[in-house]
Structures are given as C-alpha cells and as structure tokens.
Structure 1
Amino acid sequence: MPPQRSLHQVFQARLKAAREMTGTSQKQVGIDAGLDPFVASARINRYELGVHQPDLGTVERLAQALDVPAAYLFAGDDRLARMIMAFEKLSLAEKDRLLTEAHG
C-alpha cells in the first residue's frame, strides 16, 4: 500500500496539476487569485513546493482562478479528484439524479 500523503502534499500536487491543466503560469494564477503581481509567481511556487500554505480565502480564490472546485485541491484519492471534476460539469438536474441514484 502506498504511503499516505499529508493534506499539504495533496494540496501542492493538485494545485500544480490544476495549473498545468490550464496551461497558466504561476504568475498569472497568482494575479488571477488577487495576489500582488510582484510576488504572485514566487507565492504560487512556494505553495506548489509546500514551503508556504495559503489560508482558506486564498485557496478559494486559487480554485476560482483555476476554474476547479476547492474540494478538488484537497482530494487525496485520484478517483475522487476526477469525480469532483466530473460532478462539477454536470447540470443541476444531472447532479440531483446522480445523488438520488447513489443513495438508492
């Protein structure tokens, strides 16, 4: 069984993966999330390396800038991360139907 990753390690990896999926630079993600343009690149780099951890407000802005649900950034399981992304793309009716079917 692979070793468990900490929540911080999960966040680092998901943040980087989400940024790379969009093809956006660290600087641009930081700017889009409301960080000062002069520190945006360094700050995102430090988040991705795990040197610093953002507060929850910053996490929400990063998720918005990357167009991913904040929950995606903390999903420790790859299948769960894919599910979160797929669920987000469904219409409200499709989400309700899926939830009804899942609860039997």
Structure 2
Amino acid sequence: MPRGITRSEVDPDLPLFARRLKAARLSSGLSQERLGVAAGVDEFSASARINQYERGKHTPDVLTAAHLAKALKVPLAYFWAAEDDLAKLILWYGQLNAKSRKTLLATADELSQQE
C-alpha cells in the first residue's frame, strides 16, 4: 500500500487492480473525478469510470492504466504486483533517481547471489 494508506481503508476482497488503484488514489488525495480527468477521461464520466475501476466492476486497458499510473505518480507495475511487499518495492523504486536505482539493483543482485 502507498504511504499513509492502511489496509482497513481499502477492502481486501476487491480485485487486485481495484485495491491498488484505490490505495494510490487515496494516498494522492485526489478525488475520483480529478484522477479521471488527470488520466484523460472525459470530465462528465471521469468519476463514474474511476468508481467502476475501484469497485472492480471494470478493469481498464493497459493504456488507460498507464495514464492512471502517470497521474498518480506510481509505476504501472504497482497495480498488478501480487504481493504487498513487492508493491511497496515497486513504489519505492519508482521514487528513486537513476543513480539510486542502480545502487538498489546492485545491492539486490548481491543479495540474490548470497542465497
């Protein structure tokens, strides 16, 4: 879950994409309508479309999901990370600059060789 979001704020029974989208939106402080508009959804249907995605009634195509990720400033892969710990790592990786990413990858490589 993004920083500031607890499991109790997002229904754990929702489909994975719906849970991650809602968590990221709540963490960002955006309304459903503002997120939809920022992602390029028509302003008259933005709130309803995001609501359907967050309830798991519909799942956006990859291009729409990429626009949502960009608007929320999260990596696209975050939405589909099956494990919460992996989702956190994806979020953290997305927040790093290029130099820090290289350092993280080198450290992860070293750790994986120790196993």
TM-score (norm 1): 0.88
**Within 2, Cα distance between the matches of 1:42 and 1:50?**
12
Q: Distance in 2 between matches of 1:95 and 1:84?
A: 11
SS at match of 2:43: coil
Which amino acid in the other structure matches residue 73 of structure 2?
D
Give the structure 2 partner of residue 94 of structure 1: 100
**Which 4+ runs in 1 deviate beyond 4 A?**
none
Check if 1:79 corresponds to 2:102.
Answer: no
Rounded Cα–Cα distance in structure 2 between residues aligned with 1:28 and 1:81: 24
**Fraction of identical pairs, as percent:** 46
Q: Is there any run of 5+ residues in structure 1 with no aligned partner, and where?
A: none
Match of 2:63 in 1: 57
Distance in 1 between the 2:92 and 2:59 partners?
Answer: 27
Equivalent residue, structure 2, for 1:68: 74
Give TM-score, length-normalised by structure 2.
0.80
C-alpha distance in 1 between matches for 2:43 and 2:16: 26
2:53 to 47, 50, 54: 47
1:97 shift after superposition? 1.6
Question: Any gaps of 5 or more consecutive residues in structure 2?
Answer: 1-11, 111-115
Report deviation, 1:44.
Answer: 0.3
Mapped to 1, the partners of 2:97 and 2:43 lie a distance apart of: 35
> Would you say 1:19 and 2:25 are equivalent positions?
yes
How big is the shift at 1:81? Answer: 1.0
User: In the TM superposition, what is the alpha-carbon distance from 1:95 to its structure 2 partner?
Assistant: 1.0
The 3-state SS of whatever aligns with 1:29 is helix
After TM superposition, give the deviation of residue 101 of structure 1 in Å.
Answer: 2.1
